[in-house]
Every structure is written in structure tokens, then in C-alpha cells.
């Protein structure tokens, strides 16, 4: 039975040495969204059990200034975690997602450099916020992994100017506060999108920073991953490293020339450079080698759409790379295409109505 196999998997922590890759799944609208999505939680969990999923992932919303989390959203997430544990899914990742308020944009179009990170994101408020999140989700029975900020190297989430320094501060706050709530909680460095979005006429200052480059900026390293400045200033405490390794239309076996692009194909580069970073003592060796892929997908709509058959083939190849590189988790983003027609990220393993795609069949069969 899928349920018993999943339960057995849950007994092996996702961070355990020599553990197999833990298959993960996230679908925010089916598990923690408002309205219709609440009724889809049982359907989501049934599918997760069928696929022998061992890790769930959730984003919490934050505007960068509020000290108090969205209580209703946290209640939905807690309900989903508890139901997941009952279904044998014992690992969960939580990643706060910073989105500016109405009328604001951390990543402005045109020549404007945009705001500084510290002017838009309050570290004081964050301390209270992340403590409240960890407290609200304590005691579910799951092993909780916290990524302090989702995709901090994307300027829409964290302004470019001072972003790396502020992220380092937020990360260390999260590590301290989350561990205070429950020492068994794990805190992951990064949650990085893989590559920089190209400069353009509309965005001459860029839209994101390469994962490798951002890591160097956070840890105060030069291009060869050697330390500069004070080690005390640039040190982060972490239990692992979370990466988003998608490359949309590219074959996951095709390496990018820029080794700072930490895509699925470039995982070997990421592991090697993180090992170099660990030699500076600014991140521990144990954290640097514990890599979690916490977001991966192929889109089913839009300019990055990939044919289902090709996506199925690439998914199997990506999984094989994950196993070869001995990562700890591999989380697919979206079980179903979202109900909202205005959603610009669509990457369901199933159709909006639950219809089965070849990618779903492949995902279920990944071992």
C-alpha cells in the first residue's frame, strides 16, 4: 500500500546521512489557499500518498513589514501538516514569501535602481514574525525545515541594493528564533532561484542574481570562493542548503557554461563551490553538503511551456541526477494546474480537473 510505504519513508528524516532522495510536493492552492482550495486538501493528500511523497512544502505570505503572520493561512497550513502526518508524510518545509504591498514594487521597471532592502524589509518585524510562525506550527508531529526567505536573490522578493547583507541578517535571526521555539527544527540556507534573469530595456538593472554569485555576496567570498572581510561578520548558521534548480525547456543533463547558474544540470558545480565555501568556515561543512531541492517543475502553459512527453522524459532525468548527486529532497511545484485563470505559473502534474498527465505517471513511478 502507498500509505504504508510513505509511513516507512517518513521514519527516515530527510536530512539523515545516506538517506534516499525524499520525494516532495507543493500545491499552495490545494492545501493552504482560501476558498475552494480548502476542500481539495483530501484529494491532494490522496495523490501524495499514491506517489509516496515524504515531504510537503508551504509558503507563508509576508509584506516585509508586518510583525504578525496571517493567522488564517497558518491555521490552514497546520491543518494540512497534521493531515499529512496522519497520512504518513513526516517532513515539511516552510518558506516565507515576501511580496510588497499594493502599489509597491521592489523591482521597478526602467532605470531606477529601486529601494534598498533595509528600507523595505524590517528585520525587527521579521524576528517577531518568524517566531510566531514557528510557534503556530509547533507540535504537529512533522520534522519542520524552515527556509527564512523564499528566493531572496530575486529582486521582486528582496531588493537588490543591500539584499545579500539583509538576507544574511534575516537568516541568522531565523536560525536563532526557530531553534528557540523547537531545537529539533531545521533551518536551510538559500532557497535560491538558479540563475539571473537577463538585463533588458525594461529592466536594465536586472531582475535577479545567480545562485552562486548571491551565495558569495552573502558569505563575503571572492570569485574563487575565498573569504574576504571578517569571518564573524559573514558567517551563517544552517542545517542545509535549499535550491530551486529548474531550467524550464532545457534538458536537465545539459550543463550551463556559467557555473554560478545552479540548475539541475549544474548541481555538481553547486556542490563543489559550496564545499569551497565551507572551507572558509562561513557555513558549516555539514550544511554545505546537505542539499535540498525544494522547488522544481516544468510548465504546462505560457512561453516556457514544455510538451508533456518531453517534460516526462526530463523529469525522470532530473530525478536520476538528484539521486546521483545525493540531494536530500526533490519537491515538485503544483500537483494540479491552478484554478485561477490569472495565475502566471502553471506547472501541474495533473490538469485543473485532476486529469492525469504523463508527468504525473512518471512522478508516481520515481524511485
Q: What is the mean pLDDT of residues 257-275?
A: 98
pLDDT of residue 100: 81
- Residue 201, Cβ density class (10 Å: 0-12 exposed, 13-18 middle, ≥19 buried): exposed
DSSP string, 161-187: BTHHHHHHHHHHHHHHHHHHH-TT-EE
- Residue 160, Cβ density class (10 Å: 0-12 exposed, 13-18 middle, ≥19 buried): buried
The alpha carbons of the chain give a radius of gyration, in whole angstroms, of 19
- φ and ψ at 285, to 5 degrees? -65, -35
Helical residues (DSSP H) of 87-242, grouped into ranges: 117-120, 123-136, 163-181, 211-219, 231-234
pLDDT of residue 103: 65
Q: Which of 21-25, 119-123, 341-345 has the lowest mean pLDDT?
A: 341-345
DSSP string, 35-92: GGGGGGHHHHHHHHHHTT--EEEEEEEE-SS-SS--HHHHHHHHHHHHHHHHTT--EE
* Integer CA distances (angstroms), 320 to 295, 315, 316, in order: 16, 9, 6
Work out the angle at residue 255's Cα, subtended by the Cα atoms of residues 254 and 259, and round it to the nearest 5 degrees. 165
Q: What is the dihedral of CA 203, 116, 240, 227, to 10 degrees?
A: 100
Q: Output the nine-digit C-alpha cell for 264.
A: 539541475
Closest C-alpha among 149, 219, 147 to residue 187: 147
pLDDT of residue 102: 64
Model confidence pLDDT, tens digit, residues 55-86:
999 999 999 999 999 999 999 999 999 999 99
CA atoms within 13 A on the CB side of 126: 24
- 344 in Cβ contact with 293 (< 8 Å): no
Count of Cβ atoms closer than 10 Å to residue 3 Cβ: 16
Model confidence pLDDT, tens digit, residues 169-181:
999 999 999 999 9
Model confidence pLDDT, tens digit, residues 301-314:
999 999 999 999 99
In the 8-state DSSP scheme, what is residue 95? E
pLDDT of residue 34: 73
- Residue 102, Cβ density class (10 Å: 0-12 exposed, 13-18 middle, ≥19 buried): exposed
pLDDT of residue 186: 98
- φ and ψ at 57, to 5 degrees? -135, 140
pLDDT of residue 1: 35
Q: What is the mean pLDDT of residues 183-201?
A: 95
Model confidence pLDDT, tens digit, residues 83-139:
999 999 999 999 999 988 766 789 989 998 899 999 999 999 999 999 999 999 999
Percent above pLDDT 70 for the chain: 94
pLDDT of 8 higher than 60: no
Amino acid at each position: 500500500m502507498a500509505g504504508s510505504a510513505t509511513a516507512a519513508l517518513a521514519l527516515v528524516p530527510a536530512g539523515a546521512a545516506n538517506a534516499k532522495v525524499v520525494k516532495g510536493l507543493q500545491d499552495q492552492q490545494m492545501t493552504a489557499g482560501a476558498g475552494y482550495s480548502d476542500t481539495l486538501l483530501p484529494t491532494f493528500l490522496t495523490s501524495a500518498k499514491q506517489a509516496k511523497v515524504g515531504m510537503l512544502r508551504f509558503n507563508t505570505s509576508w509584506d516585509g513589514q508586518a510583525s504578525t503572520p496571517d493567522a488564517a493561512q497558518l491555521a490552514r497550513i497546520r491543518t494540512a501538516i497534521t493531515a499529512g502526518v496522519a497520512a504518513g508524510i513526516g517532513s515539511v518545509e516552510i518558506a516565507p514569501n515576501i511580496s510588497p504591498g499594493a502599489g509597491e514594487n521592489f523591482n521597478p521597471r526602467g532605470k531606477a535602481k529601486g529601494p534598498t532592502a533595509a528600507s523595505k524589509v524590517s528585520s525587527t518585524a521579521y524576528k517577531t514574525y518568524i517566531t510566531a510562525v514557528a510557534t503556530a506550527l509547533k507540535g504537529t508531529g512533522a520534522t519542520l525545515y524552515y527556509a527564512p526567505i523564499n528566493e531572496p536573490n530575486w529582486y521582486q522578493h528582496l531588493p537588490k541594493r543591500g539584499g545579500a547583507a539583509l538576507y544574511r541578517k534575516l537568516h541568522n535571526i531565523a536560525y536563532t528564533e526557530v531553534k528557540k521555539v523547537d531545537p529539533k527544527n531545521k533551518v536551510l540556507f538559500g532557497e535560491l532561484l538558479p540563475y539571473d534573469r537577463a538585463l533588458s530595456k525594461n529592466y536594465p538593472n536586472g531582475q535577479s542574481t545567480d545562485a552562486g554569485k548571491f551565495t558569495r555576496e552573502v558569505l563575503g567570498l571572492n570569485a574563487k570562493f575565498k573569504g574576504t572581510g571578517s569571518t564573524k561578520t559573514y558567517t551563517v548558521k544552517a542545517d542545509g542548503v535549499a535550491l530551486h534548480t529548474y531550467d524550464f525547456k532545457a534538458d536537465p543533463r545539459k550543463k550551463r557554461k556559467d557555473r554560478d547558474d545552479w540548475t539541475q544540470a549544474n548541481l555538481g558545480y553547486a556542490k563543489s563551490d559550496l564545499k569551497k565555501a565551507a572551507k572558509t568556515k562561513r557555513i558549516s561543512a555539514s550544511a554545505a553538503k546537505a542539499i535540498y531541492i525544494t522547488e522544481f517543475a516544468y510548465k504546462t502553459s505560457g512561453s516556457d511551456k514544455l510538451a508533456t512527453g518531453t517534460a516526462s522524459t526530463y523529469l525522470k532525468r532530473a530525478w536520476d541526477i538528484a539521486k546521483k548527486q545525493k540531494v536530500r529532497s526533490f519537491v515538485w511545484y503544483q500537483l494540479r494546474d491552478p484554478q485561477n485563470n490569472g495565475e502566471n505559473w502553471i506547472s501541474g502534474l495533473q490538469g485543473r480537473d485532476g486529469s492525469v498527465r504523463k508527468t504525473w505517471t512518471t512522478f508516481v513511478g520515481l524511485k
